A and B are shown apart, each in its own frame.
Chain A
Amino acid sequence: MSSEVFTQLVDAHYTPLYRFALSLAKNTADAGDLVQQTFFIWATKGHGLRETSKAKSWLFTTLYREFLRGRRRDSRATSLEDLPPGETDVAAEEVDRVTRMDASSVVAALQSVDEVFRAPLTLFYLEDLSYQEIAETLDVPIGTVMSRLSRGKAQLRAALAREETAAKSKVVPFASTAGRKQA
Chain B
Amino acid sequence: MNNQEAKFILGGYRPNGKDAQDQMFCEALKQAQLDPALGAWFAREQAHDRAMASKLAQITPPAGLREAILAGARVSGNRRTIWRQPIWLAMAAAAAVLLAVSAALWPKRTAANVPLVNFAMADAADPSKHGGHGTAETALQTELSNSSTHLSKGLAMDFTTLEKTGCRTLDVAGRPVLEVCFQRDGAWFHCYIARCDDFPALSEKQGPLFAENGNVTAVTWADGAHRFVVAGVAARNAIERLL
Contacts and interface: CB of A to CB of B under 8 A. Distances in A.
A43 B45 CA distance: 39
A55 interface: no
Identify the interface centre among B66, B113, B118: most chain A CB within 10 Å of its CB: B66
A10 B121 CA distance: 14
A173 B68 CA distance: 43
A106 B56 contact: yes
Contacts of B47: 90, 95
A101 B55 contact: yes
Contact of A98 (B19, B48, B61): B48
A110 B45 CA distance: 17
A130 B22 contact: yes
A89 B213 contact: no
Contacts of B16: 127
B42 to A, nearest CB: 10
Given A127-B15, A130-B18, A3 B110 contact: yes
Nearest to B113: A3
B9 interface: yes
A90 B72 contact: no
A122 B212 CA distance: 32
Interface residues of B, number: 52
Chain B residues touching A, majority SS: helix
A37 B65 CA distance: 12
A36 B72 contact: yes
B58 interface: yes
B62 interface: yes
A7 to B, nearest CB: 5
B62 A149 contact: no
A40 B73 contact: yes
A110 B12 CA distance: 17
A159 to B, nearest CB: 11
A182 B58 CA distance: 43
A106 B97 CA distance: 41
B85 to A, nearest CB: 12
Contact of B213 (A8, A40, A99, A150): A8
Contacts of A110: 52, 56
Interface string A110-128: 1000000000001011110
Interface of B: 4, 7-9, 11-12, 14-16, 18-19, 22, 24, 41, 44-45, 47-49, 51-53, 55-62, 65-66, 68-70, 72-74, 76, 79-80, 82-84, 110, 112-113, 118, 211-214
| A-B pairs with lowest CB-CB distance, top 4 | A43-B73, A103-B58, A98-B51, A106-B55
Interface of A: 3-4, 6-8, 10-11, 14-15, 18-19, 22, 28-29, 32-33, 35-37, 39-40, 42-43, 88-92, 94-95, 98-99, 101-104, 106-107, 110, 122, 124-127, 130-131, 145-147, 149-150, 153, 156-157
Given A32-B83, A40-B73, 13 more contacts: A3-B110, A4-B112, A7-B70, A28-B62, A32-B68, A39-B72, A104-B59, A106-B56, A124-B12, A127-B14, A130-B22, A131-B19, A146-B9
